[in-house]
C-alpha cells in the first residue's frame, strides 16, 4: 500500500499533503510505504508501476466554502480523464494517465483531502488547514486500518 503526500509547500495550503505525511508515525506493516511526493508527478507515476494493492493520496482540495474541512473519497482513475504529465507538477489525473501510458494499471485509490483557504505563494498552512492536519493523520490511519483488515466471509453451516 502506498501513501502519497502531494502538494507544493511553496503555495500555502497546497502543502497540506506533505505536512500530513511529515506527521504520520512510522507504520509497522512493511507492506505500507509512506512518501512525500510534493510536486513530483512523474516519480509517483513510475512508483505506481509496482503492484500496489491500494494508493492513499493526501492532498489539498479546492475551497468549497469550508476551509479546513476534511474530505475522504475514492478516486476512480478511469473517471478522472487524461491530464498532461509534467515532471514538475502534480495532477492525479495526469499521473494515472501516465501510469497507463507506461503500461501499468493504477491501483485502487483513496483521497484524504482538505479544503484550502489560500494557495498564494508562501510557506505555511492557514490556520483552518493547519488545524486539520492532526485529524487527517488520524483519518489516514483509519483508512489504512480498513484497507489492511482482511474481510472475512462468514460461512454458516446449515444442518
Q: CA torsion, points 99, 53, 41, 59, in degrees to nearest 10? A: 140
Confirm whether 158 is domain-assigned: no
Residue 48 in this model has a pLDDT that exceeds 50: yes
Confirm whether 25 is domain-assigned: yes
Rounded distance between C-alpha atoms, residue 116 and residue 109, angstroms: 21
User: pLDDT tens for residues 104-129?
Assistant: 999 999 999 999 999 999 999 999 99
Structural domain count, the chain: 1
Confirm whether 159 is domain-assigned: no
CB 35 within 8 A of CB 2: yes
Which CATH number fits the domain that encloses residue 66? 3.40.50.1450
pTM (predicted TM-score):
0.86
Closest C-alpha to 108, from 51, 33, 152: 51
User: pLDDT tens for residues 1-44?
Assistant: 999 999 999 999 999 999 999 999 999 999 999 999 999 988 99
Band the pLDDT of 90: cuts 50, 70, 90: low
In this prediction, residues 138-159 reach a mean pLDDT of: 74
Residue 150 in this model has a pLDDT that exceeds 60: yes
Confirm whether 156 is domain-assigned: no
CB 66 within 8 A of CB 13: no
Confirm whether 128 is domain-assigned: yes
Confirm whether 129 is domain-assigned: yes
- Indicate the DSSP class of residue 2: E
Which residue range(s) make up the domain with 65? Answer: 2-148
Band the pLDDT of 78: cuts 50, 70, 90: low
Band the pLDDT of 85: cuts 50, 70, 90: low
Amino acid at each position: 500500500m502506498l501513501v502519497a503526500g502531494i502538494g507544493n509547500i511553496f503555495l500555502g495550503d497546497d502543502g497540506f499533503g506533505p505536512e500530513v505525511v511529515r506527521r504520520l508515525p512510522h507504520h509497522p506493516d512493511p507492506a505500507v510505504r509512506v512518501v512525500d511526493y510534493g510536486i513530483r508527478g512523474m516519480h509517483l507515476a513510475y512508483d505506481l508501476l509496482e503492484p500496489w494493492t491500494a494508493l492513499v493520496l493526501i492532498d489539498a482540495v479546492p475551497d468549497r466554502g469550508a476551509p479546513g474541512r476534511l474530505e475522504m473519497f475514492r478516486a476512480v482513475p478511469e473517471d478522472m480523464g487524461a491530464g498532461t504529465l509534467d515532471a514538475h507538477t502534480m495532477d492525479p489525473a495526469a499521473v494515472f494517465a501516465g501510469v497507463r501510458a507506461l503500461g501499468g494499471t493504477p491501483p485502487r485509490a483513496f483521497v484524504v483531502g482538505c479544503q484550502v483557504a489560500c494557495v498564494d505563494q508562501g510557506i505555511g498552512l492557514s490556520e483552518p488547514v493547519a488545524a486539520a492536519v492532526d485529524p487527517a493523520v488520524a483519518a489516514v490511519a483509519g483508512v489504512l486500518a480498513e484497507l489492511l483488515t482482511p474481510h472475512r466471509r462468514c460461512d454458516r453451516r446449515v444442518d
